[in-house]
Amino acid sequence: MEERRDEFAEAGARARRALVREVEADGALTDPAWRAAFTDVPRHLFVPYYYVPGTGGYERLWSGDPDPGRRDQWLRGAYEDMAIATRVRDGELLSSASQPSLMALMLHALDVRDGHDVLEIGAGTGYHAALLCHRLGAEHVTTVDLDEEITESARTHLAAAGYRPAVVAADGARGCPERAPYDRIVATCAVPSVPYPWLAQCRPGALVLTPLSTGLLLLRVRDPAHAEGRFLATSAYFVVLRGAAGRVPRPDPAGDEGFGFLWGLVGGTLDRREALSLWLRERRPERERFGVTVSGDRQWAWLDDPGGPYAWPLPDA
């Protein structure tokens, strides 16, 4: 067993350096502090097993497979720049490890500084929290997940990598008030609207980064009742936050990917023909033209201007 650990450590370090070079070449890893985190944190410790598409469903790859070829396949997959399915139940994907280049983009957008306290919604494997711990110190990181099995697994993985942040089994839509206030909140699961408890647990000026529809929304928090921001340019597909109030709108699979994002925002307000007409009339607007405003007990998505003619209420958070 010790020999196998050594084998994984050496091969993992090589694969990790190759992954960092790949992500860096794509322009998603420009901050030296985050580059060091991706170089040092062993991703394979956080995915001792995962699932890949196979005949008739998912196929499980794991570190303890007696077949050396399949162990090599598992280790290579752990360091590919792709999302990894980590929990599947009755054919349904429950949890996944995000694509490293997307993680790097999100962490860069989060703009953390030394001393910042960060709340992560969606513990997953614990890898994202480990990157935050490497950058900020474990005492500044809290990660939350509704599923106790997921939080216990994340806690184990984090400890194996030498990190001990607060790992809490709770409804992520309610945040984690006992560890508040936070300078940054980042969600690794999709929400239908911005949960109000998140804003209440933020310091003034905090940033909240969350998947919504098929985009990434970056909000600046003014106070517990007000926040506003725009979507990043990139597309993003995440597992839905369990426990969130309301329904996450599904993008229209038959339409253009950009239209799918719009449909995910307004599908509960406009019918498909109205939404498509708007999208064409506005020259197929990119994600960064859209934003969200939270004011008191209301929140709405908008195109170009929070007070402009194109605004759509989001479901109750």
Residues labelled catalytic? 95
Residue entry with tokens 């050496």: 10
Are 67 and 129 a contacting pair, CB within 8 Å? no
Give the DSSP letter of residue 82.
S
CA distance 131 to 120: 11
Radius of gyration of the chain from its Cα atoms, rounded to whole angstroms: 20
b vs e for 272-285, b when ≥16 Cβ sit within 10 Å of the residue's Cβ? eeebbebbeeeeeb
CA distances from 201 to 172, 179, 196, 207, 216 (A): 12, 9, 9, 11, 20
Length of the chain: 317
Q: Which of 75, 89, 20 is nearest to 46 (CA)?
A: 75
Instruction: Estimate to the nearest angstrom the gap between the alpha carbon of 242 and the chain centroid.
Output: 14
**Token pair in block for residue 247:** 């329904």
Are 193 and 299 a contacting pair, CB within 8 Å? yes
Residue entry with tokens 């985050």: 34
Give the DSSP letter of residue 239.
P
- Give one word for 213, left, alpha or beta, with left for phi > 0 and alpha for psi -120 to 50: left
Residue entry with tokens 């008191």: 296
Residue entry with tokens 């030394």: 114
**Token pair in block for residue 116:** 């910042």
Q: Which of 15, 157, 179, 135 is nearest to 86 (CA)?
A: 157
